[in-house]
Amino acid sequence: MNMNDILRIAIQKSGRLSEDSLKLIKECGIRFDNGGGKLKTAATNFPAEILFLRDDDIPGYVEDGVAHLGIVGENVSEESDRDVDTVHKLGFSKCRLSIGVLREQEYHGVKDLDGKSIATTYPRLLDKYLKEHNVTAQIHEISGSVEIAPSIGLADAVCDIVSSGSTLLSNGLKEVETIFRSEAVMIASKHLSPGQQELLDQLLFRIKSVQVAKNNKYILLNCPTTAVDEIIKYLPGMRSPTILPLATEGWCSLHSVINENEFWENIEKIRQAGAEGILVIPIEKMIL
């Protein structure tokens, strides 16, 4: 690797992605000083610099190679249509791009949008969706407050980002079509040097270890030795669970890793099988 190889990572300066983006970089063990609202900061223990930008500018900077990596919503990256690689899904800032119409309006299907006008800040994604569904509608591109467009007579429908749905609801709208599902993604320049590619691989390895760890818990419990076989069935850990004898005759302590998703269902079965003193501990990193 060339000594001069460095990765410039663009993240959102302030907004919905900022906190999770910073947290992810920190969880990957990359330390830097981000005080004072700076636009750029250098990592102290990894050859990286962090650039703080508006999210809309990130795909363009990555395409141009000003930044080598960026963290943005897939919605922004796809809408920008920039020539970048999406290298990894990050699992946060999940949302959807949906079409909404006034609640009192009858709606039977996407064909009802024929001849209508739709306000959006996502003209490209909307256009693609309408073409795929053979619908001819007028796209009204506006820069913000999309959700009020129907009630002030500016458009018949909206196409906007939805997460809980409460913004649509409070503006008298109902969600009728989901056209795109989004989450934060890592995008990369297509022109990385071999050294930068190596750094990116290191970073992705760390990100994956953090993500796997989040989906798993370390579990410790005490149980009668006779219940071990039954309990082990519910602990499909990395390898076979660790079993240690306890001072109390006929009892042991059992340690394993359990998947978060199967957690509650299995915990109940484990308890019924005779487990006591169950401890569930978060895992910081998990190297597979």
Greatest alpha-carbon pair distance for the chain in Å reads: 79
Given the complex with Zn ion, which of 59 and 100 has the nearer CB atom?
Answer: 59
Binding mask 52-71 for Zn ion (x = CB under 5 A): ---xx---------------
Contacts (CB under 6 A) with ligand PRT, residues 123-142 = none
Picked from ligand PRT, Zn ion, none, the partner binding residue 192 (CB below 5 to 8 A depending on kind) is none
* 167 scored as a contact of ligand PRT (CB under 6 A): yes
Of 33, 56, 83, 260, which one interacts with ligand PRT (CB under 6 A)?
56
* 24 scored as a contact of ligand PRT (CB under 6 A): no
Of 51, 76, 155, 273, which one interacts with ligand PRT (CB under 6 A)?
76
CB of 53 to ligand PRT, least distance (A): 7
* 55 scored as a contact of ligand PRT (CB under 6 A): yes
Contact region for ligand PRT (CB under 6 A) — 25-33, 69-77, 132-140, 220-228? Answer: 69-77
Of 24, 101, 130, 162, which one interacts with ligand PRT (CB under 6 A)?
162
Q: Which residue, 170, 183, 168, is CA-closest to 119?
A: 168
β pairing state of 276-282 and 69-73: unpaired
Distance CA 274, CA 232 (A): 12
Contact region for ligand PRT (CB under 6 A) — 50-58, 107-115, 257-265, 269-277? Answer: 50-58
Q: Which residues bind ligand PRT (CB under 6 A)?
A: 12, 15-17, 54-56, 73, 75-76, 93, 95, 160-167, 182
